[in-house]
Structure formats: C-alpha cells, structure tokens
Amino acid sequence: MPKHNLTYPIGVVLFLYSFLGFISPQQLYAQSIDDLCIRHFAPLQVDSLTWSVNNICPNFDAYIIIGTNDLSTGTIPLDTITDPNQTSYAFPNSNGSTWYYGIGLLCGGAFVSTSGLVSSQRPITPDIRSVSIVNGLPVLSWYASPSPDVIGYQIYKENPYGSGDYFPYPSAGSLASGTSFTDINATDLNVRYAITAVTPCDESYLGLGTVLDGTTGPHSSILIDGNLDPCTQSYQLEWNAYENWGSGVREYQLWASFNGGVLQQVASIDGNLTSYTYTGLEDDQTVVFELRAYENDHNNLARTNQVTVVSAVNRPMDFLYLTNLTVTSNASIQVDWEWDTDVDFNYAEILTSPDNSSYNSLQTLNAITGAFESYEDLINLPSDAPYYYKVRSYDVCNQAVTSNLAKTIHLTGATADNFQNVLEWSAFDMQYAELEEYQLYEIVGGNTKLVGTFTIDQRSYIDLVDANRPSEAETCYYIIAKGKLMLPNGQIRSIQNRSNTICLQQAAVMYMPNAIAPTGKNQKFRPVFVFGQSISNYSIQIFDRYGGTVFETADYREAWDGTNNGQKVPQGVYVYLVRFTQASGEVIEERGTVTVIY
C-alpha cells in the first residue's frame, strides 16, 4: 500500500470513537454513507472505492478511509478526503490480495456516519450443478455463491452453440434469483451456459473453468437421438457426453415409458459411454426414452430430451414344424407343416436332399395361405431312394427359420427261391417324433391287408407266397410307421408316415412231362407253369427226328395232342424247344425230348 496522508489526526480518534458507539442515532439517521462498493482492477493493480452520501452535512470536515487485510487484527486509517464531492478513490493493490475497506463521515469535528466493511474481492462465481431438459425446455441449476450481498445471477448463453462466445441472457442486467433458470425462450435444445454472481456493486468472473474464475466451466445440455432397427427389434441411442462436472459422470441411466405408462429405469450405462442399444422392442409399441446423467460422488442429475419411438419392428417367425412326411397312394411325397402366420413373411423354400448334406430347393412359396400347409413332391421318386425334407422360411429381414428334419421310409424287396418275397425298409427318421411300431401291408389283386406289426428295431421280413394262388404271383407292399410327434410348444400329435410301394413278381416255374400217350392217360403234352401269367413272349416247337416241325404255338395254355396236320405221328422220341421271358426280363430257353407212346 502507498504512504497515506493523515491530514486530520483528531479525526482518526473521533472515527475510532464512532465505531465504539459514541455517535448519536439521530446523527446516523440524518446523514449516512451509502452504496460503498469496492472493485479490484487487475490491469491497473488498484482497488477502486465508490460511495454516496445521504444529506451531507453543511459543516463537512472529511471522509476518513480505513482498511485491513486481516479482520482479526482490526482496521487502520488509510487516508482522508477533504473534498465533499469526491465519492471515489483508488488504492494501489499490486498483488490483488483481499482488503476490507470502510468510510467515516466527519462533520464539525465529530463522526456523523460510518459504513460497514466491504471486501475488495469480486463475489465468488458459483459452480453449475446441471443443465437438464424438462418438459421440453432447458433448465439450468447452480450452487449458491458463498459471497455476501449477492443479489442475483447473470446467465450467459453461448451463441452460436460451439462458438465460445457468451452473451448475457436473456439480456444484460436481467438477473436470475434463486439457483435455477428455465430458458422459456429457447428455440434449440442444444444449449451451453455459464454464470456469474452479482452484488450491488460488482459481478463475479464468468465461470469458464479457468484458474481465475475457479469453476469447472460451462455446462451444456445432453441430447439423445436414435435409429430403429426393425430387423433386430432394437433402438440405437446416441448422445453427447455430459461436460464439466468436477468429479465426472458416474453413470447414465436409461428410462423408458411403454404405451403411455410411467417412466421406469431400463438400463444402467457406464459413464464413459455415449451410445446404447435397447433391445426387445415389440411391434406397434410406443416407447418414450429419456437419459439421465449422474455426477460421481454427488447427487447432481442432468436429464435429456425425450425421444418417442413407435416401434414398427420385424415380426420373425416364432415356430415352424414339419408335422408329417408320407408317400401318397399316387406315389408322390407329401410334406405337411405348421407355422407362425403372424410374421413379416418374405418367402419360404421346400428343401430336399438324398443324403442330408446337399439340399436343393423344390419349391419357393411367396405367401402364407394358412397355419397348416402341404406340398406334394412330384419330382423325387420315393421308390428310388429315401429323401430328406425340411422347410425354411425367411422374413423381410432375411432371418431364416428352419423346420425339423424328416426322411421318407424307403421299402425295398426281392423274390427268392421257394416262393419267398424278402422285404427290407429304412428306419423311420423325424425330429421331435417317437416311433411306436411299423406295420406291413400287402396288396394282392387290388385287396389290401395287414401282414404284420413290427417293433421299432425290426426292419426286414420274408413273406411266403402261396403257389396255389395265381393272384399272388404279383404282390405289392408298403410300410406305415406309427408314432407321436412331440413339438417344442408342448403339443403331441399322432402321426403315420407311409413308405413307397413296391411290387414283387414271382418268377414262373415250369415243369415239363417227358412222355405222351395220345390213346392213354397222358393224351396231351404241354409245360406246366406255376405263376405262368408272369411270363411273356412264350413259344414252343416240337420236331421229329428229321428236324421237321410237327407242332408249335405261342400260348402256354395250348397242348400238343400227338398229331401233325391231323394225323397221328409215329411212336418215338421227339425234340421240343421252349422259349419265354420272365417278369424280371430274363429270357428262358429250354430244350428236351418227349416220347410218344401208343
């Protein structure tokens, strides 16, 4: 501080007396020093004092200025001012340290008024607590400044956002009282604010987060936005990180309201993240999202804007079950299935494979016609081999759902000696199904009957053909697998899967007599066939010893009576040649002799 001019030593004494209470109330009421303000001007390194006087006394002596930089040690006189019209003064303060100043009014050798002590320091800039979006408007809240005599707070708003330029808002001198401010004039929710504390004679530093103002800096609102992904039934949320909390963001909480319900917390998110994917949206669901930021180690809360989503999400197929796979009576393969109809359907495929490795698409279905559907495969021949089938559906997001797998039952067979038909069949194979038994049926002469019932482990059978029944020369067979289909949704259904039908043709068996007695018991000669109806391209020729033909026919039922052109042939040995084709395609040719006896 500079050397002070103490022009009135007696005044100093009287001034000290005035602080001890020796000034009358009437004197203090009639004349007083008002509006003492102290401002420190750092560029000039001075403390500036200003004041006013109410009803200055006609016998004015001086203004006595006192001060201290330590309230515990008391004040000291600093200077006197003899000009009654001078109501300002500047004192050097090179380091900007805190001083407390007061002024006494000396009139007619007595103190008639004294001011209180006022600090040279600016009021303390408060820290902002949060910027929230409430009911669609930005709301700024802050801590109260600990400085005395604060009459309000000047809000500063960055304009334009991101520029670093702050302007008094909504105007200079429009002070906010309390510790919150709702920006009712905001046209954009993307806002950033700073603040100052205001006393009757000074304003704090703008809280930009510098060493000078001592705050954590301006705060801006958090805005959330997002994108609906109908294929994953999710909403991708993104937001700007909350800025300038002194201890950082502890966590973000995602709150949501469903179909007009109350907001409820649906997720807790790490405070370092600025995105989150909410899953599990339902179709035609109205969801309102709001994000809330919480300061670490504090109770400060910042709320975002609200985003409303009407979730037109993809409806995937929830189930697709193959319910039956059977060979029809016309030798086609029928595939039956059940599926979800409440789906955003794109298309489906009927898939088949002979080996359960490489699948081909038999048919593309472009629409769902019902919950239960069938397809008749006219391409694969069930008699050739067993075939695997499954149905695969695709929704509009190209998500595939595949049915359970099933395989046709393939029946094979062959004829054997002693009039036997040997049958074998492939195992029943269908996911979700449990086999109970096999049933073997035969078809003879258009009539169908059950041959037998077999356990789940038995897959072969030998059927004995009755040689005395010509109709059994050709016997057809098929297998039915009976079981239960136990679907994942808990439904249980009885099923019957039919195999292909095979027909076995017993080979004709020929017996040839070796003699004929035209006038005796065996008067005619011809082959005797078992299942002769099975043969084709039959012929027989009979020759005499000179090679001449004495008889021939293409009807196996026609016999030789021992004549040639109506005349009895001489007794003796004759040669025959028989040719015919078996049902299997085998050509039979047999030579032999027959003796004519009279």
Q: Which residue do the tokens 């009976």 mark?
A: 482
pLDDT score of 9 more than 80: no
pLDDT in tens, 79-136: 999 999 999 999 999 888 899 999 999 999 998 888 889 888 889 999 999 999 999 9
pLDDT in tens, 250-268: 999 999 999 999 999 999 9
The pair of structure tokens assigned to 44 is 């000039």
Rounded to an integer, what distance in angstroms lies between the CA atom of residue 578 and that of residue 591? Answer: 6
pLDDT score of 19 more than 60: no
SS3 for 396-438, per residue?
Answer: CCCCEEECCCEECCCEEEEEECCCEEEEEECCCEECCEEEEEE
Rounded to an integer, what distance in angstroms lies between the CA atom of residue 386 and that of residue 16? Answer: 120
pLDDT score of 23 more than 70: no
Report DSSP state, residue 476: E
Place 32 in a pLDDT band, splitting at 50, 70 and 90: confident
Q: Give percent of the chain with pLDDT exceeding 90.
A: 78
* CB 405, CB 389: distance < 8 Å: yes
Amino acid (one-letter) located at 551: F
**pLDDT in the model for residue 2:** 36
Q: Is 537 left (phi over 0), alpha (psi -120 to 50) or beta?
A: left
pLDDT in tens, 413-433: 999 988 999 999 999 999 999
pLDDT in tens, 198-229: 998 889 999 999 998 999 999 999 999 999 99
Which domains are seen in the chain, by residue range? Answer: 9-119 (2.60.40.10), 128-220 (2.60.40.10), 224-311 (2.60.40.10), 320-407 (2.60.40.10), 411-505 (2.60.40.10), 509-596 (2.60.40.1220)
**Interstrand relation of 46-54 and 88-92 (parallel, antiparallel or unpaired):** antiparallel
**pLDDT in the model for residue 29:** 35
**pLDDT in the model for residue 517:** 93
The pair of structure tokens assigned to 190 is 């993307």
- Could you give the 3-state DSSP secondary structure of residue 27? helix
pLDDT score of 4 more than 80: no
* CB 330, CB 349: distance < 8 Å: no
**pLDDT in the model for residue 162:** 94
pLDDT score of 193 more than 80: yes
* CB 237, CB 278: distance < 8 Å: yes
The pair of structure tokens assigned to 384 is 């050739």
pLDDT in tens, 169-180: 999 999 999 999
pLDDT in tens, 333-366: 999 999 999 999 999 999 999 999 999 999 999 9
pLDDT score of 11 more than 50: no
| Residue 111 φ/ψ, nearest 5 degrees | -80, 125
Q: In angstroms, what CA-CA distances link 508 with 113, 333, 412, 466?
A: 148, 33, 21, 13
Average pLDDT value for the chain: 91
Place 549 in a pLDDT band, splitting at 50, 70 and 90: very high
Place 512 in a pLDDT band, splitting at 50, 70 and 90: very high
Overall pTM surpassing 0.75 (yes/no): no
